[in-house]
Amino acid sequence: MKNVKIWQVLLCVVLLGSVPAQAQFLRTSYFMEGSHYRMQLNPALTPGRGYLNLPVIGSFNATVNTSSLGYQDVIDIIDNSSDGDYFMSSDFINRLDATNELNVNLSTDIISAGWYKGKNFWSFNIGLRNDIGASVPRTMFEFMREMNGVDINSIDWSNYNRTVGKESLNINSYAEIGVGFARDINARLTVGGRVKALLGIGNMKLDINKIAVNTNLQGIADVENLDWSRVADDQEYANELAEKIGGTGRIDVEARLESSFKGLELQENEDGYIDEFKFEGDKLGIAGYGAAIDLGASYKLLDRLTLSASILDLGFMKWSKNGTSVATSRSSENLSFDFNQPTLQGKVDEVQRFANVVGSGEVLNFDMLQMQVDENEAKSRSTSLTSTLVIGAEYALLGNWLTVGALYTSRFAKPKTLNELTFSANLRPANSLNLAASYSVLQGSGKTFGVAVKLGPLFVGTDYMYLGENSKNVNAYIGISLPLSKQKKPADI
């Protein structure tokens, strides 16, 4: 089978729209009064003046969050290579939780601008959003190690039973056309909102409910350091193994894939099972439509204390039937193995067939899943966006030149909600110069620091600084914008 690499799917998604994702905000920017990028967290937090972002690089964000995996681990897993060996490391396996979540987000605004009109602040943007979430149990990596000759002494192949469950993958990609509005109700209260029309590029949902592997082998005591991954490339080893063992093996799988990508074909092999994804340029198009809103408010409770809150991405996508494919797996009948073949060649063939399935270094092993497209299941489907709740409190010092703040965000991602509490200190001596430093408590177990700088038209920042390949949370934000008119004072309106 051709390797099914998730990054290949994502690369094609990027090419559909130029560059990609959700969570397009930077927490460290929230209390930077001179930065308009904080409006992505709360549409009521208007900047000191209008802006015009440069195309694409005017607002670009990339974020990786994991519950236990390091940055390099994420790259290895997304690569999904059949010859991968990262899981062989004891350091890797010792870092894992029982369930390991991964979220990758990318975003950009192709065009975006904001301006004051009287007491009102208006904004407009056309952007691209991609959101990827995955969940992989520790038992999956333990199984991969066992099939590659690690921990082999603890395995009883005469009665081997391994069950792996609850793997999931979610990909959501869409274009966004948004119009925002904010207004000072009085000297203390500001409200804002954004309405967004959504054009669906694609959505994919894969749920693997069960992978159960069972073997009843005889003659296995005569085999030293059994390594199924060697069989495909070592014919002599395959022959030796076939001569010594007998018995049976079986793999039971329950999985379901729902894909709504126009132009993404689920390619089947000669046996009728999916073995690769293929993008066809002449079939690309809009796969669905949707809508969403952002709502926010800011209230100056005391002269120095300001409270704020918002809810982002309340909305849905409706994916069309003609762009949707559904595949399911019930593979127990097709993945049965009989090592008691009457001829040596027959035994070799059966050994190699089993080894090709279990000896792969792929987390998503489509040879094992044996998924078939079910045309009767194809229908229009609806999905919700990944909404985010934001709550902030800010205290001003030194005539508003220095502020300290606390920000809580709860992002209802899949497969698991991401909560974060961020404390920050902000220097804002001028609208054109803002500096911020932050410390986030929850996602990085108190080991994540962030910085942000606004210097004239340039804005750069991170909530999670890169601290080496074992960093669990990493992100970067860059923006370049041209300043427009300032907010007029009441006497000028």
| 154-201 confidence digits (pLDDT tens) | 677 788 888 887 888 888 889 999 999 999 999 999 999 999 999 998
Q: What is the pLDDT of residue 65?
A: 79
Partner residues linked to 46 by β-bridges: none
Q: What is the mean pLDDT of residues 457-480?
A: 86
Q: 38 pLDDT exceeds 60?
A: yes
Q: What is the pLDDT of residue 24?
A: 58
Question: Taking a C-beta distance cutoff of 8 angstroms, is the pair 424, 407 a contact?
Answer: yes
92 Cβ contact list (under 8 Å, min separation 6): 73, 86, 141
pLDDT confidence band for 409 (50 / 70 / 90): very high
**3-class SS at 304?**
coil
| 198-223 confidence digits (pLDDT tens) | 999 889 898 989 888 888 888 877 77
Q: How far is Cα 452 from Cα 436, in angstroms, rounded to an integer?
A: 5
Q: How far is Cα 233 from Cα 446, in angstroms, rounded to an integer?
A: 46
| 260-301 confidence digits (pLDDT tens) | 988 777 777 777 788 777 777 677 788 899 999 999 999 999
Average model confidence (pLDDT) for the chain? 83
**Torsion sign across C-alpha atoms 225, 228, 233, 236:** positive
Q: How far is Cα 295 from Cα 301, in angstroms, rounded to an integer?
A: 19
Rg over CA atoms, the chain: 26
**Comparing C-alpha atoms, which of 206, 133, 212, 97 is closest to residue 165?**
212
Query: 90 is written with which tokens?
Result: 């004891």
Percentage helix, strand, coil, to 5, in the chain? 20, 50, 30
Question: Taking a C-beta distance cutoff of 8 angstroms, is the pair 99, 140 a contact?
Answer: no
Question: Taking a C-beta distance cutoff of 8 angstroms, is the pair 477, 462 a contact?
Answer: yes
Q: 492 pLDDT exceeds 60?
A: no
**Torsion sign across C-alpha atoms 342, 343, 347, 352:** negative
Question: Taking a C-beta distance cutoff of 8 angstroms, is the pair 127, 161 a contact?
Answer: no
Query: 68 is written with which tokens?
Result: 């236990």
Q: 3 pLDDT exceeds 60?
A: no
Query: 84 is written with which tokens?
Result: 């991968």
Q: What is the mean pLDDT of residues 220-228?
A: 73
| 356-374 confidence digits (pLDDT tens) | 888 777 788 888 888 888 8
Poorest-pLDDT segment among 106-120, 143-157, 300-314, 332-346: 143-157
pTM reported for the whole predicted model? 0.80
Sort 453 into a burial class: Cβ within 10 Å, 0-12 / 13-18 / 19+: middle
Q: What is the pLDDT of residue 460?
A: 93
Residue with tokens 């690369």: 11
Q: What is the pLDDT of residue 12?
A: 45
Q: What is the pLDDT of residue 450?
A: 92
Q: 1 pLDDT exceeds 50?
A: no
Question: Taking a C-beta distance cutoff of 8 angstroms, is the pair 53, 457 a contact?
Answer: no
Sort 101 into a burial class: Cβ within 10 Å, 0-12 / 13-18 / 19+: buried
Q: What is the pLDDT of residue 13?
A: 47
- How many other CB atoms are there within 10 angstroms of residue 470's CB atom? 13
Q: 329 pLDDT exceeds 80?
A: yes
The one-letter amino acid at 488: K
Query: 26 is written with which tokens?
Result: 């930077």
**3-class SS at 402?**
strand
**Comparing C-alpha atoms, which of 330, 350, 322 is closest to residue 253?**
330
Q: 22 pLDDT exceeds 80?
A: no
Q: 50 pLDDT exceeds 80?
A: yes
Q: What is the pLDDT of residue 427?
A: 93
